[in-house]
Structure 1
């Protein structure tokens, strides 16, 4: 009897002392030692410069949380981890009794259990849905880059120089040891690593998923493999817990997002997605796919509002019961990326839309069925998944950010959408289709072209630019005549993205009104031109 009582006591005691993870939200940021008038105390110079360049105000939301509040939470016996300035709170580890004590503190607005068990975990398990599978052979990267026009972008020397990209993922095993990533290591262009799952800086142990994703952007093997934006700087943040699925991963994503914002990142790639968890009480429903409900989608919205372009895998649920996109791909303004085959058909696994409020999702697509990647041993592979389609679009986005540093995330988003292959007839299978560098560059330079042939500027002093909405190698004839019908300039050639717009030198002509006639691909446009 005594033995049974002792065992029962031990079990009850162990249960009572079990610790979980909670997010503690504070009521305010009262008596903060930081002020918006001195942002250098909590934001990097790059982050401040981004806000200045894009006209984004620094507000109380950007201020760190009240350190006194955190200290008082810690004084209860809880173990404190990361703070969130956007959600004004702190992630803790505590037992239920301590959590109740913390909830009663006068400056605490609420406390939410976000994961069972302790913070530091010792097991590993395979990725669930982000990468479908891998094979040991690989095609060269030409196809996956050329499909988006990234080859032309690289020819324009937009390789990511001085562009800062943060990747949120589950681990980068082998990146610090293998030749295809040595150029990043040796040049110091992996600027920061942080493991938000295990509270360390080691991101090279847990998983290979991030390795494959990073290789699409930055892998280099002479003569056979070229990443899309291989000269960029990279910040590797591990937010995905491979052992368990709980909402704490959404908070990990938020902590990484806040770090990316404060340190001066330009673009974020997230090849992660969430909908259901090991604790079913945390699950989302399809009705929650509104971009405003989940913690992670709201964090993505914050990132965009701070001037950062966010690219996310749509999800690999297309063949499963869920079928639709996952969070944060439902966010308005995020570039959610689906997957297509080499024949430009939707990959069977690629998640579909729409968002709960009817918005088109995914936004665009890229090659994700047999994408060339590099594995943790430095060998070439092919990988399936929207996870490897997403970094292709991130490469394109980063090149556009480099080419157009004053463009806002919203303008980059619009350029990507406008440039896509089914912009005028989007659907919830492929979204707006396959984007293209040349068309996106044209949009960011000249705006949306409503006609097949346009001219700029008009009036003109010296060089008249003739823009083609779709320069596809067709013959073109350009003539400029005066009002008496005398042909003063005549040009015959072909249309091509490399020479779009065509330049017509009118500097030698007298000031006055002229008639421009442009014929290409069976289309003729006649326009008045004023020379000044």
Structure 2
């Protein structure tokens, strides 16, 4: 009886604290003329710049060039906030990227706030009911472990399926990478597998304090899930549990509130991503999904899973635009009526992670694709059945659990290993490499996407680094039998004879090749040859060639990935960011079987069409160029532009950042 009374009390407290009085208040502008406040001398510009750590500035410059502050980064107008407060409105989060605040508005003041001249629109902040996958709930203490496995203990299987221990053995462990986790809370100071990890900062976006472990106002078990997830990617206890990227540094954000099912509010998630990005995060991973909401709050529909509707999806896309590599669980809806991925897994650039069992068979609960606009989802899969991790509320106990929330930190850990070894990689390169190197990259589908993620394959996939207009090709060879002196690159313009190129430098398993110069837009292909100690000649790849477009940084075995399993491909936009005064032209390639209708619509961030390009394609490779001018002949303003491409009735979407 006492337990029932306590539970009822918790429900009353929850209902009181989280009743739907919270709204997004979107503003018409940021308090001044757009061009004036984007000036580097403006107070708003310098406020945005000063909010970034040195690491954030470094990451933005790597991915964006020198123009690192965008209109979305400028702070919300303090004048507008002051006026709202004068009406007794309680501000919860200031969300600069969306030019809005979340706030508690009494019902009787809604119409008054809507009528203010600087208020564009008011929308309710929605709350998620997140259906968890069946949980094994196996509790094991340290003394009960089988120590004969190896130093990974029972975490070996989940990592070995993605070939992570092999990469660890090469001294690649995630160091110098900053990972951000968004979850229910983190009991990290107590547990032996987590209390030695490097925590840069933590914040509770539910109760607005710096403690992410359970506090008195939290329901029991609040921090169980986040603690488990953290240990899967970052834990370390020799012979017991080792995380996928255990030597990375971490930002911990408590964004979810559990009060039966997992309970999340959209503004917490968006505020946490802005906080992490400002602190310089390299990779984020979240284990939540938005689809079904509390009664009366307006559920999202499958049609909303289009990459551009929900706040959380928009937030991960804005983080990606600023150079952050973003991972999220695909969702645990595979056995439900919904079945599909849940936001933010529907994002264009986020890597949505599904689940497989230890035998690499798709878990029945793992959400599937496509997005409502037809894109392949999830991107990759990792082990999400009987995944082993730390148990919150204890010092040395562990449990195993199911769910895409346990596969996402494994995949994000692979991303951290890749970035740790090759810190020059842009997030667009990292994403491309992971998709290209996964097990199903040549025939992606809407069950497992591009396939099982592999740390070994990702680290061995070649990548490019631009240095003052020249390109260096990097390639790892983990073959212990390789004879270093025999390794050669064979490079050619597409359809011409190959030229042999010796490596310039090497260290351990990593080799660098300086590429000769070509005209931007030239299509190149290459492969590697070496001898091993048994006298064998090894060709990499064994039966086809890597391909690239000179001037772009992505490399592919399928020319920037086969899209929708069709017989043509649309490439990434290059160069991106695009500086018209420097680059003159921006290009996009597509392959066609010939006589197909091609249409390109270039849309600005406000949704206005600035340029339309139409033409009939010819068989083979086609190149479309844009000089940055709108249809009326004026140079377009700095900002994000969307390339909406129609080719033979199929739609493709790309993003371009234009800088002046």
Preserved CA contact (<8 Å) 1:102 1:108: yes
1:433 pairs with 2:451: yes
Alpha-carbon offset, residue 115 of structure 1? 5.2
Partner residue in 2 for 1:112: 123
Alpha-carbon offset, residue 399 of structure 1? 1.1
Partner residue in 2 for 1:485: none
Between the aligned partners of 1:306 and 1:462, the Cα distance in structure 2 is 33
Partner residue in 2 for 1:407: 425
More helix, by proportion: 1
Preserved CA contact (<8 Å) 1:246 1:279: no
Partner residue in 1 for 2:288: 272
Partner residue in 2 for 1:512: none
Q: Closer, same or farther in 2 for the Cα pair 1:416/1:147, shift >3 Å?
A: same
Cα distance per residue 1:414-441 (max 9 Å; x no partner): 1001111111111111111112223222
1:224 pairs with 2:240: yes
Cα distance per residue 1:109-160 (max 9 Å; x no partner): 11112259xxxxxxxx997426744212476222222222211222232222
Between the aligned partners of 1:107 and 1:247, the Cα distance in structure 2 is 32
Between the aligned partners of 1:133 and 1:461, the Cα distance in structure 2 is 53
1:82 pairs with 2:98: no
Cα distance per residue 1:320-342 (max 9 Å; x no partner): 11111110001111110000011
Partner residue in 1 for 2:50: 41
Q: How does 1:384-399 map to 2 (within 5 A)?
A: 384-399=402-417
Return the match for 2:132 from 129, 132, 156: 129
Q: In structure 2, the residue corresponding to 1:183 is in which secondary structure?
A: coil
Alpha-carbon offset, residue 491 of structure 1? 7.4
Tell which structure's C-alpha radius of gyration is larger: 1
Q: Closer, same or farther in 2 for the Cα pair 1:73/1:284, shift >3 Å?
A: same
Q: In structure 1, the residue corresponding to 2:501 is in which secondary structure?
A: coil
1:445 pairs with 2:476: no
Between the aligned partners of 1:68 and 1:478, the Cα distance in structure 2 is 69
Q: Closer, same or farther in 2 for the Cα pair 1:414/1:278, shift >3 Å?
A: same
Q: Closer, same or farther in 2 for the Cα pair 1:439/1:64, shift >3 Å?
A: same
Q: In structure 2, the residue corresponding to 1:180 is in which secondary structure?
A: coil
Q: Closer, same or farther in 2 for the Cα pair 1:327/1:147, shift >3 Å?
A: same
Cα distance per residue 1:262-302 (max 9 Å; x no partner): 11100000001010100344211111111111111111110
Between the aligned partners of 1:55 and 1:415, the Cα distance in structure 2 is 19
Between the aligned partners of 2:530 and 2:431, the Cα distance in structure 1 is 34
Return the match for 2:201 from 177, 180, 192: 192
Preserved CA contact (<8 Å) 1:247 1:282: no
Preserved CA contact (<8 Å) 1:218 1:230: yes
Preserved CA contact (<8 Å) 1:42 1:64: no
Alpha-carbon offset, residue 220 of structure 1? 1.6
1:492 pairs with 2:510: no
> Comparing both chains, which one has the higher relative contact order based on Cα–Cα distances under 8 Å and sequence gaps of 6 or more?
1
Preserved CA contact (<8 Å) 1:168 1:271: yes
Between the aligned partners of 2:527 and 2:366, the Cα distance in structure 1 is 29
Return the match for 2:337 from 315, 321, 330: 321
Between the aligned partners of 1:470 and 1:372, the Cα distance in structure 2 is 39
Q: How does 1:91-102 map to 2 (within 5 A)?
A: 91-102=102-113
Between the aligned partners of 1:212 and 1:261, the Cα distance in structure 2 is 23
Q: CA RMSD in A?
A: 3.2
Q: Does 59-68 or 384-393 show the bigger shift?
A: 59-68
Return the match for 1:365 from 381, 401, 409: 381
Between the aligned partners of 1:291 and 1:106, the Cα distance in structure 2 is 30
Total equivalences in the alignment: 450
Q: In structure 2, the residue corresponding to 1:347 is in which secondary structure?
A: coil
Alpha-carbon offset, residue 413 of structure 1? 0.8
Q: Closer, same or farther in 2 for the Cα pair 1:228/1:470, shift >3 Å?
A: farther
Partner residue in 2 for 1:158: 172
Cα distance per residue 1:215-259 (max 9 Å; x no partner): 101112221211111111111111112238899712211111111
Tell me the TM-score normalized by structure 2: 0.63
Preserved CA contact (<8 Å) 2:47 2:74: no
Return the match for 2:489 from 455, 460, 470: 455
1:73 pairs with 2:84: yes
Preserved CA contact (<8 Å) 2:131 2:333: no
Q: Closer, same or farther in 2 for the Cα pair 1:19/1:75, shift >3 Å?
A: farther
Return the match for 1:183 from 181, 184, 196: 196
Return the match for 1:145 from 159, 177, 181: 159
In structure 1, stretches of 5+ residues that fail to align are 1-14, 117-124, 480-489, 498-532
Tell me the TM-score normalized by structure 1: 0.78
Return the match for 1:382 from 389, 395, 400: 400
